[in-house]
Amino acid sequence: MDKELKQVKEQYKEHYYDDEISNRIKNKVYERILKDQRKWSLSKKFKFLGSVAVIILFLLVGSAFVSPTMAKVISHIPYLGSIFQSKSISSLIIDELEEKGYKISGTGINYKPKKELEVRVEGSDDYFNEVKDEIGKTVKGILKSKGYDAFSVKVSKELAQNDYVLNGEETKIGKELTKILKQLDYKFDSILIFPRAKVININIDGSKEYYDAVKDDVEKTAIDVTELNNYKDYNIDVNRSTVKIEKADTGALITPAIAEGLMSKKEFKVTGVGYKEKPLSFIISTSIPSSDSEAKALGTEIESMIVEFLKSEEISLILGNESYEIIVKSKDKKKIN
């Protein structure tokens, strides 16, 4: 590596990873997690090994390099590292659409039943119909420029809060659920009905131990109540949400880049990315059967990419001496790495 590159890397390390910047990154993670919890209350959760890791793909954890010298540095950063050092795909999309003057309320990424990137547009029906196709074209262009070929694009209209009022049946089922759950002495602080998403959300109040003990029973009770009232087209989502974040654990800082990098390209066949904090484990789910002759090679390739990423200077400063495990699973839940 030439002298200039060494100097730039040292300068980069000095200016981007001192304590102040590290704390700023962590604070940004806190802020964005809280913001996303409010804005995307129905975001998908990935469950692995009995723990839940919510993959937040809307974090801006650094800034993109634009100078020729910095471009030279980034050419030496592995694929996942380059994602970590740039804006998330959602941030890139929002920035470009807003720069073009479109009225955007937010973006969301769904991974099941298919990988879909959704952009929600504010404004009247006439405005939405006027800009929908152009927004879709712009988003597809951004995805193509990043080499992200796994996502389809959906452009939808954002309804104002007062654009939808629960009808009589929806109000009735909410009251009935509340009455039954109270009679059974379950502790919960809210029942929310989301007509557009077809979801009834029940938020359990109490410790994690209490939540784990009653979650299945609450869900079954809610299903029984809805079916008895001929209200079968809604999904039941029982959760325990909290906005108290005491610290940004290592997995929360590192996993978003791994998730975006692996799940956005078809070639990796990745369907889920999660982590377990103690001991630190990164769990990657794929769509390839373990019987496929290419399964082992794919598992090894994915593991190698993650190891390369974790050993990079930038991530080593976050990871420190913490040990970790990488588990790549086949479609039939077998380890393939």
Is residue 29 assigned to a domain?
Answer: no
Could you tell me if residue 191 is inside a domain? yes
Which of 130-144, 163-177, 236-250 ranks highest by mean pLDDT?
A: 130-144
Q: What is the pTM of this model?
A: 0.55
Give the pLDDT score at 250: 82
What does pLDDT average to over the chain? 75
Residue 72 has pLDDT above 50, yes or no: no
**pLDDT 10s digits, 258-309:** 988 998 999 999 988 888 888 899 999 999 999 999 999 999 999 999 998 9
- 218 assigned to some structural domain: yes
3-state secondary structure labels for all residues of the chain? CCHHHHHHHHHHHHHHCCHHHHHHHHHHHHHHHHHHHHHCCCCCCEEECCEEECCCCCCCCCCCCCCHHHHHHHCCCCHHHHHHCCCCHHHHHHHHHHHCCCCEEEEEEECCCCCEEEEEECCCHHHHHHHHHHHHHHHHHHHHHHCCCCCEEEEEECCCHHHCCCCHHHHHHHHHHHHHHHHCCCCEEEEEEECCCCEEEEEECCCHHHHHHHHHHHHHHHHHHHHHCCCCCCEEEEECCCCCCCCCCHHHHHHHHHHHHHHCCHHHCEEEEEEECCCCEEEEEECCCCCCCCHHHHHHHHHHHHHHHHCCHHHHHHHCCCCCEEEEECCCCCECC
For residues 21 and 181, the model is more confident at: 181
Q: Does some domain include residue 300?
A: no
Q: For the chain, what is the domain count?
A: 1
Q: Answer yes or no: is 317 within a domain.
A: no
60 falls in which pLDDT band (50, 70, 90)? very low
Residue 223 lies in a domain: yes
If pLDDT is split at 50, 70 and 90, which confidence band does 197 have?
Answer: low
Range of the domain at 183: 168-195+206-239
Among 70-74, 108-112, 242-246, the range scoring the smallest mean pLDDT is: 70-74
* 206 or 163, which is more confident: 206
